[in-house]
Structure 1
């Protein structure tokens, strides 16, 4: 784990085992996301992480406050500001990220990302035409941790890949089967237009 500094205080990400333990009793869908989802897909660690991301459906947002009622919660209001997320408040559609920590003097520990759903389908907030059954959005790692499917995580990263996103893509590409590659190439094209990753996926 790395300790990353931000204008709103330092990040000291919770460990995967800690996140799994904190949310083991949660009955709604949740998935470890970001670079950790890629590492869980390939089965080994290959880079540092400044935070840990957990994906949650917007309709289930209040569950995390109920699981950790003593923690401090902040909503990331675009563009680039943090504000307290009050207990019981329903965040509007424009707010997608939540930061949390045990208390005001503690480093940030977990970032939650909210995404959309309709009945049994996940709907990408980047492109409403990109959908998938919620039951197929992720899987359990060998350690039993729920994580986003690698092709879904790469879809998020494909819009404007940073160096770490390129590293993630190259690391997991050999592990993607034909169906995963086909879905990812189609989703990228539909949401963002032609991207260099599509050629490698084909």
Structure 2
């Protein structure tokens, strides 16, 4: 589903669930203000953990697509593009193909802001890092007058892994989403196949349930 009107925020991320932990409260805020938001998911998440829920990778892909749809229904997102690039193998794709996909999405939707991962991928995941490279290159390729604001996910504290420090940006945008906490947790829980990731996130970053933090490129 696409939109011809300018949207407030477009997320471009690799996996089903990359939209929910760090941005779902912000999406709810914008939607309640009557704004349009959208999501581009580059993979179907077929290489993730099965947790006994599936027997094949194709079954997992279908499950994760259904989980994502339930999550987006909970948030209220209606504009979503599901792409079929290979999960855990984005780095093996021709970068220009991914750049073209990201640039095309920006040109179709003309968002005020684009959100993706920072250069370190937040946790170093190769798909996150590759998605950053593609989105940043697509953004750079647009005429300056047509570029949306560029946001990265930005944790409040630097990563403990020193290898991730060079690609870390401290947040310069903070949004209190406390009033959405119940619905945000419901949206997170839609991703049943990601239960271990959810537990890890809640253990490491409980404060990010009520405050969502981002880095806006060029704001400092």
TM-score when normalising by structure 2: 0.31
Task: Between the two structures, name the one with larger relative contact order (CA 8 Å, sep ≥ 6).
Answer: 2
Larger relative strand fraction: 1
Larger relative helix fraction: 2
TM-score when normalising by structure 1: 0.33
